[in-house]
Amino acid sequence: MRAHGTVNTIFKQHPRHKPRPWIKGCAFQLPQQLPKAQRRLSHKLINWASLLDDTTEQQAKQTARMPFIHPHIALMPDAHSGKGSAVGTVIPTLGAVIPAAVGVDIGCGMVGVQTHIHHRTIEHLPLSDLREMIEETIPLSPGNYNDHLTRFDFTAPRIHALEVHAHDNQVDLTHSPKWRNQLGSLGGGNHFIELCLDETDHVWLFLHSGSRGVGNKIAQKHIKIAQQLCAQWWIDLPSRDLAYLAEGTLEFSTYLRDLTWAQKFAFENRAEMMDRFVAVFTQWSGTDDVEVERINCHHNYTVKERHAGKDVWLTRKGAVDAHEGVRAMIPGSMGTRSYVVTGLGNRAGLCSAPHGAGRRFSRTEARRRFTADDLAARMGGIEYRHGDAWVDEIPDAYKDIDQVMNDARDLVRVDHTLRQILNVKGT
């Protein structure tokens, strides 16, 4: 894609000229009548969230006013406030990318495996044993103690492929000398591993993670560079976290190379953990060749796509690809339902869909309101590690996933509804 000249030259102008980074957009017209699930909040912002707080709305409007947005921002049903721009925002840009909008967990997403195993095959087996096997095989920490790099045959080829990709694309990883140990580690926060049952009581293996510490280091490096450049050239930003890199500059191309590697790492990290999960599940259940289908999808990433007649850099910050026919996983919160979906290719929604339930309360506020006993009551019938370490992940801290999915009915078709019977959270 050839960027508009204003963006390509913006960092070459003299500071005293106080450059204004305007970019001419196309004459794309938003539809006058939108379905009930949608609401136009401004000329360049369409909202799908029926549960929307003022802070999130203002963040989305602020991002939508950036001069290179084309054709508009799509605010997903699970949207909530984030750093710089709201989580659950789909941001199409011409000739620029906002590193903080992509976020620090580059490539974070979901992977799910549908099995042919019915619940009756495993219902007599202790789920606590499986949980302990998972916790022994998949590091729940940052990965510093990952001693399984030689345990499975599938690990070494993944590391080699990532090494080759980094070498061939001149990706500098000196900031993360232990990145290999991070492959196959879960991490904390809302990352999880679950054993689920669908509406026919068939077993699904399901997990959520991203690019770990190495992705965070890459993101922080380029967020800082974008902020320094925008400050250097007197670009007036509504928020420092909306600092951007302009296409055609060395900084932009370097970020895209690093970003692509981090997204690949995140994808392979989930695949690595899922392969380990499949291995311990088959050992625990006494079954073999269980996998029917695998879905591995990002929900924090940037990719080039075509929308409203132009090639754009599309950043999905807390959203999944929902082009027509594309499969994706949308998790609920800890203790609630999750969904396997197929995209409907909604163009007004920028062919995107929500990535989960979306938070109602911050982690601090959730800990103020709820206790470990409250969490235990919400996790009735589910095998999990008890204690107060995960109180901030209680379902009450999140939006109602059923309302989110109802708001998303024009974006995706629900294929399967999953309920967990085992949950493992990161530390």
Binding residues for GMP: 190-194, 299-300, 331-334, 338, 355-358, 425
User: Is 355 annotated in the active site?
Assistant: yes
Catalytic residue among 4, 298, 355, 416: 355
CA pseudo-torsion sign 348, 354, 359, 363: negative
The pair of structure tokens assigned to 60 is 């989305």
C-alpha span between 109 and 345 (Å, rounded): 20
Helix (H) or strand (E) holding 265: helix 250-285
Angle at 207 between CA 107 and CA 136, to 5 degrees: 115
Binding residues: 105, 190-194, 208, 299-300, 331-334, 338, 355-358, 425
Binding residues for Mn(2+): 105, 191, 208, 299
C-alpha span between 161 and 47 (Å, rounded): 40
Kindly write down the DSSP assignment for every residue of 35-69, as one continuous string: -TT-EEEETTEEE--SS--HHHHHHHHHHHTSTTB
By the 8 A CB rule, do 73 and 230 touch? no
Q: Where are the alpha helices (DSSP H) in 286-408?
A: 363-369, 372-378, 401-407
Cα–Cα distances (Å) from 75 to 95, 167, 274, 338, in that order, read: 21, 37, 30, 20
- Residues that are catalytic: 355
